[in-house]
Structure formats: C-alpha cells, structure tokens
Amino acid sequence: MPASTSTRVFHRQLHHDLPVAVSGQGISITDSAGKAYLDASGGAAVSCLGHGHPDVIAAMHAQIDKLAYAHTSFFTTEVAEELADLLIESAPEGMSHAYFVSGGSEAVEAALKMARQYFVEIGQPQRRHFIARRQSYHGNTLGALAVGGNAWRREQFKPLLINVAHVAPCYEYRDRREDESAEQYGQRLVAELSATIEQLGPENVIAFVAETVGGATAGVLPPVPGYFRGVRELCDRHGILLILDEVMCGMGRTGTLHACEQEGVVPDLVTIAKGLGGGYQPIGAVLAQARLVDTFRQGSGLFQHGHTYLGHAVACAAALAVQQVIRRDGLLAQVRSRGEAFQARLLEAFSSHPHVGDIRGRGLFWGLELVTDRRSKQWFDPDLKLHARIKKAAMAEGLMVYPMGGTVDGRCGDHVLLAPPFVASEAELAEIVERLNRSIDAAIRSAG
C-alpha cells in the first residue's frame, strides 16, 4: 500500500490523505513509506507505554489462547476480576467496584446512568439535572455530548436528551482576574456553581461532571488550588454526586494514578479509559463508591445498562498488563521526574516565544496555547486553522502532536496537546520539543 492514499475507511474527515501506519515500537510509529513519527501525544493521551511493549503483547497472547470472550450475562472472568482488584486497591477511598466498558464515551454514559439510577433507587427521582462545564469534553455519544461543553461538536445534534446546565471551566490563563489570587478565582467558580445549583433547586440535581484536569478542549487545563475541594463540599452539602472524568488525565498521566489525588478530593464516580489499556485494546471503566453499588445490590439488584463487550477478556488482559508494568517499573515516579525535565525543556523553548501564550500541565500532560501576541492574548483567526497547520508541519517533521482548535463556548483558540508515553527517555523528550519548535514556526510562517 502506498504511504499516503485515499482509503475506503473513513474516520472523521472524508477528504483525508493520511499516511498508513504499519508498525510501532517504543515511542515511534512507522508508516508504509518507512517514515517514523515520534508519538508526542500518545495518540490522544492513550499510549502510556508506547508501542510494541512485549509484556503487554505476551499477556494478550496468553489470554487469547485461554479465552478471548465470554458474555458478562453468563460469566465473569479471572482476568476481569484481577484487573478490578488491582484498580480498586489503588482507587480513591471508598470505591468498591469497577464497571468495564470499551472506551471513554461509554464510561461517561455509564457513569451518568449510574448516578441517575442511584437517585431513582433511593427515592429521589425528581433529580434530573446534571451540571457540567463549558470548556469540557466527555465523549461523542449523545449523553456524553450533552454534558460536554464543546458547542461545535454539540450544535447539529441539539436538542440533546439530557438536562444539563453548564458553568465556567477552570481556565486560569484567560479567566482569572488580575485582582484575585488563584484561590479566590477558584472560590468564584465554586460560587457560580452554587448559584446554578440554587437556580435548578439543589434537590433536582443529580451530579456535577468535570474533567479533573481538562484535556481535549482547550489545551490542558489544570484546576487552581482548592477549586475541587470547594466543589466537593458544595456537592456534599446538597447530596449531589461528583463525577470526575479522568478518561484522559487519569491512570498516571499527571504523575499520580488518579489526578484527583492531587486535589485532595474523592469523587463518587470516576471514569477512566485511554491510559488504562494504553491503546493495546479498547477499554474504559467506571470506578464507583461502595454506597452506590450497595444501593443497586439492595434495591433492584442490577445496574440497568450493558454492552456486548463489557469486560472483554483480552481487553482486560491488556489493561492488567499495562497497569502491572506501571507499578513494576515505577512509572508514576518516572512520569513525575521526566515531567519536570519536559516542563523545563518546554519553558526553555517557548516561554519567550512570541506566539506561545501559555504552557500548562502536569506530569507528562502538557498544553501550549497559541496567541497572536502574548500581551493581548488574542487568538489567531480561526479560519487560519493554525492548529491543523501545526499538526501538518509536525507530521512532516516526523512528530505526532494533538492539535485543538475551533469554537468552544463562543471562544476560539489554537492549542497543542502533548502526552508522550511514560517510557519516553529524556533525549526523546528533548527531541520532541525541538521538532515541535520547528513545526510551530513553520505553521506560523505558512499562515502568513
């Protein structure tokens, strides 16, 4: 097959001209022309162990040889139970069960339904509203799209079926006022959430849904100190559930297994995916507090939901191996130390770059926000599609970065998301920054 071709498979773009990926090793993917690309975004923050990891591949082979698939209405499997045990051992306090699905959107859908069913079962069926944030992404299925705050993705599918009120995201670079500290800004956001809860009637709200560290909407958006503690207190005061979506930022990406550990909060439900299976198999999960699961157990005896591939044995085997390698090889500590080195390189390369307004992130999860100039923080004209130009220039350089752009909540912006594999060496991280620097400059030149 030629390196670049018009194919019969379509993904998002119908006019695409993508290279054909044929193999992957370490932090690189190679196309059919033999060109290698450094995977600086882990796809979309997925490939935490890079590509071709022998331990994960061996675990998948072993599982296929034993049993590839058994439907969950007939069986559980040893491998799914072992994975659940491992995840619950290191889960936020009070979590007792894992519900395995095939990806992030499915995890979010399941969490939304668990939250709703919980209130129906405890005799509060009037709770029908979710609250989520404007700069957010929770997936492309209809429920996940309804809670998501990306106007561009939502627009043509409205009216979406779920009642969702949206509040401001935690976007310090743009929204913190000069006369307030980061903490005060966080308190202001919590006050806005409180006002929205009062408007809806606290007794009518099911849950607040948020990415602990924002991902696929506006670069990387880490929360300000105290914000999530304020959110947690508010939810507790009104008996509202807190659903944290850690599909992208979870499973070690920010330097702790769950990003919420750094916020000192415990959610009622947490969704995980991407780094759970590291891309070796499609898998996601909802981790749930015992209180919710016990309610179902003592009430209807079931969670009214399900998909054919729940708890797929080979997917669970891949995820189990990925999670074991992370523990065995001390990769969380490595994310923290390499993350610091990566941050230092990014700051060195871009902190006085005229068109990089902000560099923010945690661990090995970083975003750059592009601006026409640093003082006005003005975005580039969206018609220039700078993010797409950066991606194109990066691919020419042999570099994969995850570009973001388009209208979000009436706001546009161009961002680059970086999420290199946890196994990337310092030399590879340095190479990523060099290639990215050249790519950004080439993209800006091409935009005139």
Which of 245, 397 has the CB closer to ligand PMP? 245
Q: How far is the CB of 309 from ligand PMP (least distance, A)?
A: 13
Cβ atoms of residues 366 and 418 within 8 Å:
yes
- Contact between 216 and ligand PMP (CB under 6 A)? yes
Q: How far is the CB of 45 from ligand PMP (least distance, A)?
A: 7
- Contact between 211 and ligand PMP (CB under 6 A)? yes
- Contact between 273 and ligand PMP (CB under 6 A)? yes
Report the candidate in 276, 324, 307 with the shortest Cα–Cα distance to residue 82. Answer: 324
Which of 247, 356 has the CB closer to ligand PMP? 247
Q: How far is the CB of 12 from ligand PMP (least distance, A)?
A: 12
- Contact between 245 and ligand PMP (CB under 6 A)? yes
Which of 29, 417 has the CB closer to ligand PMP? 417
Which of 91, 404 has the CB closer to ligand PMP? 404
Cβ atoms of residues 433 and 385 within 8 Å:
no
Residue 97 C-alpha from the chain's centroid: 21
Q: How far apart are CA 406 and CA 289, in angstroms?
A: 36
- Contact between 423 and ligand PMP (CB under 6 A)? no
Which of 312, 435 has the CB closer to ligand PMP? 312
- Contact between 267 and ligand PMP (CB under 6 A)? no
- Contact between 259 and ligand PMP (CB under 6 A)? no
Q: How far is the CB of 116 from ligand PMP (least distance, A)?
A: 18
Task: Mark residues 29-68: x for contact with ligand PMP by CB under 6 A, - for none.
Answer: ---------------x------------------------
Site for ligand PMP in 81-140 (CB under 6 A): 103-105, 108, 137-139
Three-state DSSP at 431 gives helix
- Contact between 190 and ligand PMP (CB under 6 A)? no
- Contact between 219 and ligand PMP (CB under 6 A)? no
Backbone angles phi, psi at 325, to 5 degrees: -65, -40
**Sole window of 31-39, 242-250, 387-395, 405-413 interacting with ligand PMP (rule: CB under 6 A):** 242-250
- Contact between 417 and ligand PMP (CB under 6 A)? no
**Sole window of 31-39, 88-96, 124-132, 244-252 interacting with ligand PMP (rule: CB under 6 A):** 244-252
- Contact between 244 and ligand PMP (CB under 6 A)? no
Q: Which two tokens stand for residue 309?
A: 């591939």
Q: How far apart are CA 126 and CA 329, in angstroms?
A: 48
Q: Which long-range contacts (CB under 8 A, 24 or more apart) does 235-239 make?
A: 235/207, 235/208, 237/202, 238/197, 238/202, 238/203, 238/205, 239/124, 239/202
- Contact between 331 and ligand PMP (CB under 6 A)? no
Instruction: For Cα atoms 101, 105, 110, give the angle at the middle one, nearest 5 degrees.
Output: 55
Q: Beta-carbon neighbour count of residue 52 at 10 Å?
A: 14
**Sole window of 210-218, 395-403, 413-421, 439-447 interacting with ligand PMP (rule: CB under 6 A):** 210-218
- From candidates 24, 215, 267, 403, binder to ligand PMP by CB under 6 A: 215
Residues 6+ apart with CB under 8 A from 327: none
H or E, element range at 341: helix 331-350
**Sole window of 111-119, 166-174, 243-251, 425-433 interacting with ligand PMP (rule: CB under 6 A):** 243-251
Residues 6+ apart with CB under 8 A from 409: 134, 135, 149, 150, 151, 166
- Contact between 228 and ligand PMP (CB under 6 A)? no
Residue 231 Cα distances to 71, 380, 446, angstroms: 38, 33, 44
- Contact between 170 and ligand PMP (CB under 6 A)? no
- Contact between 281 and ligand PMP (CB under 6 A)? no
Q: Which two tokens stand for residue 225?
A: 């100190």
Report the candidate in 151, 123, 122, 158 with the shortest Cα–Cα distance to residue 136. Answer: 151
Please report where in the chains the tokens 């990769």 appear, as a residue: 331
- Interacting residues with ligand PMP (CB under 6 A): 44, 103-105, 108, 137-139, 211, 215-216, 245, 247-248, 273
